[in-house]
């Protein structure tokens, strides 16, 4: 094999204080010219002699990591442990990658991002800012994780999804399409979120929640325990959707309202203040349920009916007039 670089003694050490070798190009390839001095490696295994892969500037590779194919390390980037970096990946600025991470495709990891443990970074994904990718997370497609966001456990972020600000995605959550998760919200459990959904502020989405469409969930709202929110629905304030409840259409659930127990709220319906809906109820059309109202056990409310005050309705019936 015709080698593309040689190793030179240097004064630089890695994070454990071990001496590193500087690389020197022996031939022209990519944007590297013969005689160019590159970054640093602990041993010849760290950088392949094949392809256009290269380490630039003050960047280094150490331990048993392997940089190969056309991957690039630049600036002050560090890649250590058993990491594999391949494809056209670029790791630069002050980014650190360690553990047994795999980075492939056209992915970019930069600024002060840290990727560690055993994640997969694939496709054209970008990790930057002060973002942290941990454990067995998978970031792929055109996904972007940035600012102070954290993605961990076995979470998946795919498509054009974005996770940013101080948002956390973990557990086995799956995020797809054009979803945006930001603010200080937490998404975890085996949640599935897709479409053009936006989750933000201090919202919490967990357990087996299913969110899809152009949904917005914000404030301190919670969706959990197989709660489902679809289409253009909004859930905000301190509202809670749980226990197999469905909210869809243009429905809005807000304030301290709760919808649970396989109930459905859809159309242009609104449930707010301290209203509570449970046990197979259906609220639809332009109906409004508010105040301290309680609907349980198969109540139907549609049209433009308003239920308010301390009204409590139970038993199978359809409500056709306002009640307070």
pLDDT tens digits for range 58-103: 999 999 999 999 999 999 999 999 999 999 999 999 999 999 999 9
| Position 180 in a domain | yes
| Position 243 in a domain | no
Q: How many domains does the chain have?
A: 2
Which of 69, 97, 125 represents a domain boundary (last residue)?
97
Return d(Cα 258, Cα 293) in angstroms, integer: 11
Residues 118 and 184 in one domain: yes
Residues 8 and 92 in one domain: yes
| Position 64 in a domain | yes
| Position 189 in a domain | yes
pLDDT tens digits for range 130-174: 999 999 999 999 999 999 999 999 999 999 999 999 999 999 999
Q: Is residue 1 scored above 70 in pLDDT?
A: no
| Position 85 in a domain | yes
Residues 116 and 158 in one domain: yes
Residues 93 and 1 in one domain: yes
Residues 79 and 31 in one domain: yes
Residues 20 and 89 in one domain: yes
Which of 165, 194, 223 represents a domain boundary (last residue)?
194
Averaged pLDDT, 246-273: 98
Q: How confident is the model at residue 2 (pLDDT cuts 50, 70, 90)?
A: confident
Residues 7 and 80 in one domain: yes
Two tokens at 42?
């602990």
| Position 259 in a domain | no
* Structural domain boundaries enclosing 45: 1-97
Residues 90 and 16 in one domain: yes
Residues 18 and 86 in one domain: yes
Residues 134 and 74 in one domain: no
CATH number of domain containing 165? 2.160.10.10
Q: How confident is the model at residue 50 (pLDDT cuts 50, 70, 90)?
A: very high
Residues 117 and 81 in one domain: no
Q: Please give, one letter per residue, the 3-state secondary structure of the chain.
A: CCCCEEEEEEEEECCCCCEEEEEEECCCECCECCCCEEEEECCHHHECCCCCCEECCCCEECCCCEECCCCEECCCCEECCCCEECCCCEECCCCEECCCCEECCCCEECCCCEECCCCEECCCCEECCCCEECCCCEECCCCEECCCCEECCCCEECCCCEECCCCEECCCCEECCCCEECCCCEECCCCEECCCCEECCCCEECCCCEECCCCEECCCCEECCCCEECCCCEECCCCEECCCCEECCCCEECCCCEECCCCEECCCCEECCCCEEECCCEECCCCEECCCCEEECCEEECCCCEECCCCEEECCEEECCCEC
Return d(Cα 58, Cα 40) in angstroms, integer: 7
| Position 228 in a domain | no
Which of 194, 225, 255 represents a domain boundary (last residue)?
194
| Position 187 in a domain | yes
């Amino acid at each position: 094999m015709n080698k593309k670089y040689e190793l030179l003694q240097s004064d630089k050490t890695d994070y454990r204080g071990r001496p590193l070798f500087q690389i020197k190009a022996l031939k022209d390839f990519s944007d590297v010219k013969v005689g160019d001095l590159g970054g640093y490696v602990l041993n010849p295994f760290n950088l392949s002699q094949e392809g256009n892969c290269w380490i630039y500037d003050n960047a280094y590779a150490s331990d048993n990591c392997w940089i190969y194919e056309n991957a690039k390390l630049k600036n002050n980037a560090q890649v250590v442990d058993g990491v594999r970096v391949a494809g056209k990946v670029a790791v630069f600025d002050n980014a650190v990658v360690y553990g047994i991470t795999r980075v492939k495709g056209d992915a970019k990891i930069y600024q002060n991002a840290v990727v560690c443990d055993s994640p997969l970074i694939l496709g054209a994904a970008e990790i930057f800012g002060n973002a942290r990718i941990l454990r067995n997370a998978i970031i792929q497609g055109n996904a972007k994780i940035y600012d102070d966001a954290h993605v961990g456990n076995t979470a998946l972020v795919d498509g054009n999804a974005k996770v940013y600000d101080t948002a956390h995605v973990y557990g086995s959550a799956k995020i797809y399409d054009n979803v945006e998760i930001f603010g200080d919200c937490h998404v975890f459990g085996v949640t599935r979120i897709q479409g053009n959904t936006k989750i933000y502020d201090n919202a919490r989405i967990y357990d087996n929640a299913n969110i899809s469409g152009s949904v917005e969930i914000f404030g301190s709202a919670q969706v959990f325990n197989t709660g489902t929110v679809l289409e253009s629905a909004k859930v905000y304030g301190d509202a809670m959707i749980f226990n197999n409840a469905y909210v869809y259409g243009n429905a809005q659930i807000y304030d301290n309202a709760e919808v649970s127990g396989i109930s459905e709220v859809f159309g242009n319906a609104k449930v707010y203040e301290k209203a509570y809906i449970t046990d197979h109820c259906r609220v639809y059309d332009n109906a409004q349920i508010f105040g301290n109202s309680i609907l349980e056990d198969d109540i139907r409310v549609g049209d433009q009916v308003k239920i308010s005050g301390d009204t409590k309705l139970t038993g199978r019936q359809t409500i056709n007039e306002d009640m307070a």
